[in-house]
Amino acid sequence: MGMEMAFAGQTPPLVDDRSANGIFRVSRHAFVEQSVFESEQREIFNKCWLYLGHDSEVAAPGDFLTRSVVGRKIIFTRNKAGKVGAFFNTCPHRGALVCREKQGSANLFRCFYHSWAFDLDGKLINRPGHESYADDANANGEHNLVPVPRLESYRGLYFLNFDRNACDLASYLGNSMEFIDLVMDQSADGMEVIGGTQEYGFKANWKLLAENSADGYHGQPTHATYFDYVMSTNGNLGDNVVKISKPHDLGQGHAVVEYGAPWGRPIAKAVPAWGEEGEREAAALRADLTQRLGAERADRIAYTNRNMVIFPNFVINDIMAITLRTFEPVGPGQMRVNAWALGPKGEAPKARERRLYNFLEFLGPGGFATPDDCEALALCQEGYSNMAEAGWNDISKGLNQERPTIEDEVQMRAFWREWSRRIEGERA
């Protein structure tokens, strides 16, 4: 059935979900229009839980870092009592950014412009010329830093919400928590963000990266160079590549793919290139996991990979290393990406070295994969210049299959259904 017949007399939806007929398409307008970008700001980014940072990044009292979350400047900090907080990074006086550093440790935040000073709870504690203000000038707290409306955490991951009335974080994360647990259970001592941030931007709509982050279909063609490299440096695949290839629609727009792959996993799956010592260390780590979590869960953690998208814009990739990644629109055709490596606290130096090597080898601006992905996504965005004549993205692979694999598009459809639920209601 043609588009015209299906939606006679109506504006066609941006997500054309006629699954029963084997059709699932997304209008390319969704990737280029300013009005869609603005709807997303209102209906998605102002209402969903958005990842801010990891507990370990503000490990000690006084630690802080500044971040941008969908373009909004935030201070993420831990107060003297050990409580984590987040404030809008803007001075109540005239609006200047109060904290100009990326991260550090502080007793107070002092504004550059007129020197108002705030404690780690955002409370105004000093200002020059205070005698010129009424005694009760800050009685209602309006000269304090403004905290973000909601800040909640799950297993070390802190999320904020700009909507005071949002549901709680646990309800929002829903089924994704089971898969977050598979990452956070990797160490009895907890997990930590290692080192700095990878920051990059490129010319493509942010939703293309939501799709790409759990897209098993593009792996071989787009990253052929990497797979060639892995095969040749590994010597062989070893005998520990599990035969799992499973996409999960987790509901609420979240999705994950779970699969076996030929690369080494520093959490207990060695490859021949690591040598006998590497295999011994991996076996010891597996034994530890087994003792702590039981054989089945230990094997799942050690041998399977997971790429998970938490709606709308947070990714946890538990692959040859663990990446946390956010991406956000700067405009319809431009996104900004931040990524961090996560690892077990107290990891042995050699395992940590392998992890970081793996991380840089595949991921980030200097890796084998990220530049390929950026190129592919930018090519899509360029192709949308022909939208008037070629207006639809096809996302029907594996539709109505009894046993879809990660090379199907279950995970993208999960994203788009939630996106449509939030956006199209408003458009209608």
Paired strand residues for 322 = 318, 342
99/92 Cα distance (integer angstroms)? 13
- Give the shortest CB-126-to-ligand FES separation in angstroms: 11
In the complex, minimum distance from the CB of residue 129 to ligand FES, in angstroms, rounded to a whole number: 11
Q: Which does 246 bind (CB under 5 to 8 A by kind): Fe ion, ligand FES, none?
A: none
Size of the site for Fe ion (CB under 5 A): 1
Using rule CB under 5 A, residue 281 touches Fe ion? no
Burial of 243 (0-12, 13-18, 19+ CB in 10 A): exposed
Chain-centroid distance of CA 322 in Å reads 11
Q: Which does residue 111 touch among Fe ion, ligand FES, none (CB within 5 to 8 A, set by kind)?
A: ligand FES
Q: Of 157 and 208, which has the nearer Cβ to Fe ion? A: 208
In the complex, residue closest to Fe ion by CB: 373
Q: Which is nearer to Fe ion, 169 or 210 (CB)?
A: 210
Nearer to ligand FES, 73 or 218 (CB): 73
By a kind-dependent CB cut-off of 5 to 8 A, residue 373 interacts, out of Fe ion, ligand FES, none, with Fe ion
Q: Which of 35, 109, 92, 7 is nearest to 423 (CA)?
A: 35
CA distances (Å), origin 271, targets 14, 79, 407: 45, 43, 24
**Inter-CA distances, 168 with 50, 76, 151, 254, 379, Å:** 12, 19, 10, 16, 38
Residue 373 in contact with Fe ion, rule: CB under 5 A = yes
113 binds, among Fe ion, ligand FES, none (CB under 5 to 8 A by kind): ligand FES
Q: Which does 49 bind (CB under 5 to 8 A by kind): ligand FES, Fe ion, none?
A: none
The partner residues of 225 in beta bridges, in order of sequence, read none
Which residue, 95 or 366, has its beta carbon nearer to ligand FES? 95
Please give the Cα distance from 405 to 245 (Å, whole number). Answer: 5
Helix 295-303 with 176-184: angle, nearest 10 deg: 90
From 58-66, 151-159, 337-345, 368-376, span contacting Fe ion (CB under 5 A) = 368-376
Give buried/exposed letters for 301-324 (b at 16+ CB in 10 A, else e): bbbbbbbbbbbbbbbbbbbbbbbb
**Residues that bind ligand FES in the complex, under the rule CB under 6 A:** 91, 93-94, 96, 111, 113-114, 116
Q: Which helix (H) or strand (E) holds 308?
A: strand 305-310
**To the nearest whole angstrom, how small is the minimum distance from the Cβ of residue 133 to ligand FES?**
12
Work out how close the CB of 93 gets to ligand FES at its nearest, in angstroms, rounded to a whole number: 3
Residue 116 or 340 with smaller CB distance to ligand FES: 116
Residues that bind Fe ion in the complex, under the rule CB under 5 A: 373
